[in-house]
Amino acid sequence: MIVALIPAAGFSRRMGCPKLSLPWAGRTILEHVIAACRTGGATRVLVVVGRHVLELARLAAAAGADVCRLPGPTADMRATVECGFTWIEQNITVQPLAWLLVPADHPLVEPAVVQQLIASFHEQPAFSIFLPTFRGQRGHPVLLAWRHVAGIRNWPHDSGINRYIRHCAAECWEVPVASESVVWDLDTPDDYQRLLSWPVHESSSRQAVD
């Protein structure tokens, strides 16, 4: 089992509204991200939402994802992700083999990239963290073996997941991909205007409609 974890508890201050509820190609960005994860091979998709964006809970459930509703604000993305870990342990009886970190500011997740990461996880057992790269630049989503959950929980509280991944450099395997989507952030209204001209992956769009 591989679980995709989407932390969706940020305040999107630079955007001015929740990023994942923005429309894109007939659906919300959140619906496209969930569809891409499912089509790409994730067994379950979990969206962790804050109380200030509870409309995302409805969207996530309608798109076939599980939902973890936070009881209050979290300090950062790492804290949000750790709440997701606890939800998975309490609600999924089979421990996942791995999990995908799918940040909300990387909305252009493509099924093919998810498939490549999962394939690499099975083909490269000597490694436990799999990062997509585009022209040598690392991006998201990132696939981590489930055992890294304990490592992240024990990591210093003032240090984030990206720093944890850099600390585990010997366990990282880079997966070159053909799509710039893995390094593309959505943070500002200008970014959103660029997103509106981005081609939607056919299988992701079809899954969102089903």
Please tell me the distance from the alpha carbon of residue 201 to that of residue 36, in angstroms, as a whole number. Answer: 9
pLDDT of residue 199 exceeding 80, the answer is no
**Residue 20 tokens, joined:** 């994942």
- Is the per-residue pLDDT at 191 higher than 50? yes
Q: Which residues of 173-207 are buried (b: 16+ CB within 10 A; e: fewer)?
A: bebebebebbbbebeeeebbeebeeeebbeebbeb
Domains, in order of start, for the chain: 2-196 (3.90.550.10)
Band (pLDDT 50/70/90 cuts) for residue 156 is very high
**Residue 122: closest CA among 147, 150, 97:** 97
Cα–Cα distance, 81 to 101 (Å, whole number): 8
- Yes or no: say if 100 and 142 are a contact pair by the CB < 8 Å rule: yes
pLDDT surpassing 60 at residue 164: yes
Long-range contacts of 44-47 (CB under 8 A, 24+ apart): 44/1, 44/3, 44/4, 44/92, 44/96, 45/3, 45/4, 45/6, 46/3, 46/4, 46/5, 46/6, 46/84, 46/87, 46/88, 47/6, 47/8
Q: What is the largest CA-CA distance in the chain?
A: 43
What pLDDT was estimated at residue 88?
98
Confidence of residue 53 (pLDDT cuts 50, 70, 90): confident
Residue 32 has pLDDT above 50, yes or no: yes
**Residue 87's pLDDT is what?**
98
pLDDT at 11: 60
How far is the C-alpha of 18 from the C-alpha of 22, rounded, in Å? 7
- DSSP-derived letter for residue 168 is T
Residues 6 or more apart whose Cβ sits within 8 Å of residue 127: 120, 171, 172, 173
Helix, strand, or coil (residue 32): helix
- pLDDT tens, position by position, 134-150: 999 999 999 999 999 99
List of residues 6+ apart from 22 with CB closer than 8 A: 15, 28, 29, 192
Average per-residue pLDDT in the chain? Answer: 89
Tens of pLDDT, residue by residue over 82-102, are 999 999 999 999 999 999 999
Indicate if the pLDDT at residue 210 is higher than 70: no
